[in-house]
């Protein structure tokens, strides 16, 4: 078994489930065990690294290889995974079957990280044309905190390659997200006399209907050539205390996906306008911007996109650039002025699934691609 697959299996066997704001660190949650694994790898390899605190007990590991005066490159992949509930396989048992590695994180995102680490180690003594920084980032799945901390540390580079499952194709565009929490406020009463109360769920129903119509209207808007059109979805709802109580509160979570050219501020105001029109003067409501993620749109002819295309063409014979629907840390790097692309082994169709896996051949090819990126070949 190749060295990169052994490292990937070790990573899968190392739980690093992401933590929400309401969860604490435990035997499966938190990136601490992966931080130790990555740091140990760099120590054995004789490569300098630093650890950056993102949240209590959750860190980035950043290795840096000094090179010549050529362009500086950042490789970045995240160490956290999504939850393991309802998985149909043992999440932390990295089984190898039919040319695949199975387990939580095998595809998203430990395959990319393992391939990047082996590649950087392999080229460290070859006289790199420019400095290479490899960041193993925390908190991607639940807020992008790791890449924000990385940027706040003063990171500068001429380009970045973010590892995510792209089937080894170069991603130059993806959607962003504007996520709102909307609450309607009513008056509680006994359900035997509902006229004495003000039903917050009924009020929310008006807003939901308006958002459904708005989502349909988005389908008629011009589409981006690589990521298609904007979307809107109500993903969660909560309200009421008991069947015999008129509810005085109802809350929904609204997920609005933006395409390149849209921004959070304008999108939020558009959503609030739709809600205000549906609510009228009768409904008391409030809103909170719960999450935002920038869109990504990188010039396919910029330096980092060109070397990524050249490296993939040399290994896979394909230099096509594509767009994807999901978000990545690349948008934060790009927004900070570092042109970025997304490139990694595996398919997004296997990420976050009950039977997550990655093809071994993809991971081994990724090592070769990342080596060529570091060498700017």
pLDDT band with cut points at 50, 70 and 90 for residue 352 = very high
Other residues' Cβ atoms within 10 Å of the Cβ of residue 274: 18
What does the pLDDT look like over 37-69, one tens digit per residue? 999 999 999 999 999 999 998 999 999 999 999
pLDDT above 90 for 22: no
For the question of residue 80 being annotated catalytic, the response is yes
| Residue 377, pLDDT score | 81
Is a pLDDT exceeding 80 seen at residue 23?
no
Pick the catalytic residue: 80, 141, 359, 371? 80
Question: Which residue of the set 140, 164, 292, 329 is catalytic?
Answer: 140
Q: What is the pLDDT of residues 65-122, one digit of tens each?
A: 999 999 999 999 999 999 999 999 999 999 999 999 999 999 999 999 999 999 999 9
108 a catalytic residue: no
Residues 6+ apart with CB under 8 A from 43: 49
């Amino acid at each position: 078994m190749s060295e990169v697959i052994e490292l990937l299996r070790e990573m899968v066997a190392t739980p690093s489930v992401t933590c929400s704001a309401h969860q604490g660190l435990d035997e499966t949650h938190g990136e601490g065990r992966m931080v130790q694994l990555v740091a140990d790898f760099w120590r054995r390899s004789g490569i300098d690294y630093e650890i950056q605190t993102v949240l209590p007990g959750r860190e980035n590991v950043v290795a840096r290889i000094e090179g010549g005066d050529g362009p500086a490159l950042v490789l970045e992949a995240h160490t956290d995974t999504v939850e393991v509930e309802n998985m149909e396989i043992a999440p932390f048992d990295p089984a190898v079957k039919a040319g695949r590695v199975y387990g939580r994180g095998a595809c998203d995102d430990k395959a990319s990280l393992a391939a990047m680490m082996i590649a950087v180690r392999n080229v460290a003594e070859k006289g790199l044309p420019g400095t290479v920084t490899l960041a193993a980032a925390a908190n991607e799945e639940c807020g992008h905190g790791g890449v924000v901390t990385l940027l706040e540390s003063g990171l500068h580079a001429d380009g970045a390659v973010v590892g995510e499952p792209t089937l080894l194709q170069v991603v130059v565009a993806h959607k962003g997200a504007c996520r709102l929490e909307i609450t309607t406020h009513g008056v509680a009463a006994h359900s035997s006399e509902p006229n004495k109360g003000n039903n917050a769920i009924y009020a929310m129903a008006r807003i939901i209907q308006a958002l459904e119509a708005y989502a349909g209207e988005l389908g008629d808007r011009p589409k981006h050539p690589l990521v298609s059109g904007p979307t809107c979805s109500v993903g969660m709802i909560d309200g009421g205390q008991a069947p015999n109580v008129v509810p005085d509160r109802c809350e929904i979570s609204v997920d609005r996906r933006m395409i390149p050219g849209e921004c959070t501020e304008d999108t939020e105001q558009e959503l609030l306008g739709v809600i205000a029109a549906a609510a009228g003067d009768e409904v008391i409501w409030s809103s909170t911007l719960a999450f935002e993620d920038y869109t990504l749109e990188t010039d396919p002819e910029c330096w980092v996109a060109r070397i990524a295309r050249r490296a993939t063409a040399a290994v896979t014979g394909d230099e096509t650039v594509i767009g994807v629907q999901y978000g990545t840390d690349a948008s934060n790097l790009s927004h900070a002025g570092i042109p970025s692309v997304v490139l990694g082994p595996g398919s997004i169709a296997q990420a976050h699934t009950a039977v997550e896996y990655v093809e071994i051949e993809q991971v081994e090819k990724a090592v070769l691609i990342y080596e060529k990126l570091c060498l700017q070949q």
